[in-house]
Chains A and B, each alone.
Chain A
């Protein structure tokens, strides 16, 4: 069974540009969450999608957005990039929403975004 696939693995963008990251969850998983990891702030929750609906959102500005498709694949978009957006962006998939189902979340390898 394939794991969580994130593309691209590495990305270099210039301030002011926008970027789209992609995440394909494990087959059969319907919940996809996104996290940002930086040395200073650690792992921070961005948002969670379940069955194409955003179920939860972290404390990030509106420049960060996402969506989920009918096949559960998800994308996140960051517009008007800032230097501080440089981070490892991780996607996690799970079978169901955790609170109700208590299921594990499985992470992809991440996309390393560098903003110059």
Chain B
């Protein structure tokens, strides 16, 4: 079953605008990660936010985490055509012991129009 559920499923914006994508999850986590994927290629790691963090920045990216609502958001400011891609949130699905795996949502397709 999908742990992370992104919202919206698709987003189309004009270059220069901000893009906000949301992710909700079901169980407690240690961290949440956001990835980008360009047209069937590999996943590019964007940012990791730990469960004890509320906000994190990396360049034009801003990620927030609200563990009480089990949700995260990814904000891309001043979007560019090159930001066109699919974006995934992934959680580590905490379990006891050393085992862990990333559980991904179905992804958000972002289109940035030039």
Contact = CB atoms under 8 A, between A and B. Distances in A.
A45 B43 CA distance: 14
B30 A45 contact: no
Interface of A: 4, 6, 33, 35, 42-43, 45, 48, 50, 55-56, 58, 88, 90, 92, 97-100, 102-110, 112
Interface residues of B, number: 29
User: 9 shortest A-B CB distances, which residue pairs?
Assistant: A43-B104, A107-B43, A109-B42, A99-B100, A56-B99, A45-B101, A98-B100, A107-B42, A42-B106
A21 to B, nearest CB: 13
Nearest to A33: B101
B78 interface: no
B48 A58 contact: no
A6 B43 CA distance: 13
Given A102-B48, A108-B42, 13 more contacts: A6-B42, A42-B2, A48-B99, A55-B98, A56-B99, A90-B42, A97-B99, A98-B30, A98-B100, A99-B97, A99-B98, A102-B31, A107-B44
Contacts of B30: 98-99, 102
B21 to A, nearest CB: 16
B42 A48 contact: no
B102 A110 contact: no
21 contacts: A6-B42, A33-B101, A35-B104, A42-B107, A43-B90, A45-B101, A55-B98, A55-B99, A58-B101, A90-B42, A98-B92, A98-B102, A99-B30, A99-B95, A99-B97, A99-B98, A104-B33, A104-B48, A105-B33, A106-B45, A107-B43
Contacts of A103: 48
A48 B100 contact: yes
Contacts of B107: 42
A65 B45 CA distance: 26
Nearest to B33: A104
B45 A104 contact: yes
Contacts of B104: 35, 42-43
